[in-house]
Amino acid sequence: MAKRCKGFLFWAGLVCLGFTQADTHTFTTHTQDQKTIVRVKIFDANPNILRAFANSDISVTVTVANSDIPAISKLSAAVSWVANNILHFYPTAKIPRIAVGNEVIATADKTLIAHLLFAMKSLHAALNLAEISSIQVSTPHSLGILSISDRVIFAPILEFHRQTNTPLMACPYPFFGFTLNTLDYALFKPNGGDFDHATGMNYTNMFDAQLDAIYSVMKRLGYDDVDGGGGGHTHTAHTKPSSLFSR
């Protein structure tokens, strides 16, 4: 039987970092001193950041640049990438996963999209060759996948997550869709909610609605057996964020 995907990994629960060279040491030193952040995602595999977070309790998700995806789709290139960007720093630096690109499907770049899954598979194979089983491979999606969730593109990615027992990554931006009338809805503040006649749910915040929307796409593609981030299934998706986040 195929393995189940571990569910969603939402970037709402961590800090995404972009740095100039001068910023790196200052931020990492401050972050470790404050000990208020436990997970970060960087938009590359910056060696200075990985060195700075070595021997700390902070986990760092590293990213393969979109422009590198076609090359990484070949196993030999993936092996080199892992050697240069992972093996030099792991396990001294806690690296829980590799994000392959950033919102690739939303770019509508046919070349990148065509190579995305192959790059994910190559990196997974390269990690196996290096005898590393604790680093996951995934790719962050924008909510644009809701409108372009073509089975040919998206279902194979979901199947990869099912087979490798890794999370689907999504980047929800509840604040992007708010108006003055829906500000409380976007910010998790008390409000009357928005009743969805299709699901029979009354959503009191935009995040919950976005979460269920992604689950609905997965169900339509035949992946309604996929576990949610808290261990639940698609029919209980609307209850998950309240248990995952303190509002």
Alpha-carbon dihedral of residues 35, 23, 62, 38, nearest 10 degrees? 10
How far is residue 53's CA from residue 31's CA, in Å, rounded to a whole number? Answer: 9
Lowest mean pLDDT among 31-40, 56-65, 143-152, 228-237: 228-237
Burial class (CB in 10 A: 0-12, 13-18, 19+), 105: buried
Q: What's the pLDDT at 25?
A: 52
Distances (CA, A) of 110 to 70, 148, 198, 217: 11, 13, 33, 21
- pLDDT, tens digit, 9 for 90 and up, residues 224-234: 765 433 333 44
- The predicted model gives 173-182 an average pLDDT of 71
Beta strand residue intervals within 57-113, DSSP E: 59-64, 97-100
Domains of the chain, CATH where assigned:
1-171 (3.20.20.80), 176-247 (no CATH)
Banded pLDDT at 220 (limits 50, 70, 90) = confident
pLDDT at 243: 38
Q: pTM of the full predicted structure?
A: 0.79
Instruction: Give which of 115, 120, 126 is closest to 80, Cα–Cα.
Output: 126
Q: Which residues pair with residue 10 across a beta bridge?
A: 170
Which pLDDT tens digit goes with each residue over 126-142? Answer: 999 999 999 999 999 88
The mean per-residue pLDDT over the stretch 41-56 comes to: 93
